[in-house]
Amino acid sequence: MQSTALEKQLHFLREIDRLKSVVRQSPLLDKSRKENSAEHSWHLAMYALLLSEYASGPVNTNRVLRMLLIHDIVEIDVGDFPIHGGTSPQLQAEQEAAAATRLFGLLPEHQGDELLALWQEFEEAESEDAQFAKALDRFQPLLINVFTGGGTWTENGISLEQVFSRYGPVIRRGAPQLWRVCEQWVIQHFRTGPVE
């Protein structure tokens, strides 16, 4: 028996509830626990809603919001790949692409194809929308690390140079004004101590 569009949509919505169980390395700002990937996606959507004026060029905030809400859905199948985890980028890309195909394939074809294309656009980071979304995806954990006294940077022995090389190009490309703020925070964190 063939599923109706509504049955497929509801199945997908039940499936993505699992994103709430994917724990990331980043702590909450109050350091009470680690955030989960669903919280991260929601928080990034709020960043886009409030900070779109800082994008490097004109962006469609609605498209950026949609990208950020779906960008980590693949973690349901493959888990979180921490930025400092040492995983092969090629292996990560292959696993995430397979997860995206499976998960978005649960939806009615037109919706699944649309979301898969939006996810791929985010991953490729060629459009202004995707570059800004990617910048925010790096900006939020940077902010968390700075304002938790080092967070995952301290846990993983990350240096100032590593932060600049890993976060800088992506944030600068999609949101140069936000990168200028980040540079100040990072320098203060590594050279003079916690940022207030």
Q: Supply the pLDDT for residue 86.
A: 67
Does any domain span residue 172?
yes
Q: Supply the pLDDT for residue 156.
A: 87
Which of 60, 72, 185 is closest to 132 using CA atoms? 60
User: What is the number of domains present in the chain?
Assistant: 1
Q: Supply the pLDDT for residue 85.
A: 64
The per-residue pLDDT of the chain, averaged, comes to: 94
Residue 104 maps to which CATH number? 1.10.3210.10
For the four alpha carbons of 24, 13, 49 and 118, in that order, the dihedral sign comes to positive
Mean pLDDT, to the nearest integer, of 56-83? 94
CB–CB of 139/171 below 8 Å?
yes
Determine how many CB atoms are found less than 10 A away from the CB of residue 117. Answer: 11
108 three-state secondary structure: coil
pLDDT 10s digits, 116-130: 999 999 999 999 999
Residue 105 phi, psi (nearest 5): -70, -10
Does any domain span residue 152?
yes
Give the C-alpha separation, 151 to 147, whole Å. 8
Does any domain span residue 23?
yes
pLDDT band at 194 (very low <50, low <70, confident <90, very high): low
Does any domain span residue 196?
no
Does any domain span residue 157?
yes
Q: Supply the pLDDT for residue 3.
A: 87
pLDDT 10s digits, 12-32: 999 999 999 999 999 999 999
pLDDT 10s digits, 152-170: 898 888 899 999 999 999 9
CB–CB of 21/38 below 8 Å?
no
Q: Supply the pLDDT for residue 192.
A: 79
State the number of CA atoms in the 13 A half-sphere of 107 facing the CB.
14
Give the C-alpha separation, 163 to 153, whole Å. 8
Q: Following CA atoms 98, 99, 103, 109 in sequence, which dihedral angle do they give, to the nearest 10 degrees?
A: -20
Determine how many CB atoms are found less than 10 A away from the CB of residue 93. Answer: 12
Range of the domain at 109: 5-191
CA distances in angstroms from 46 to 69, 75, 100, 143, listed in the order given: 10, 20, 23, 14
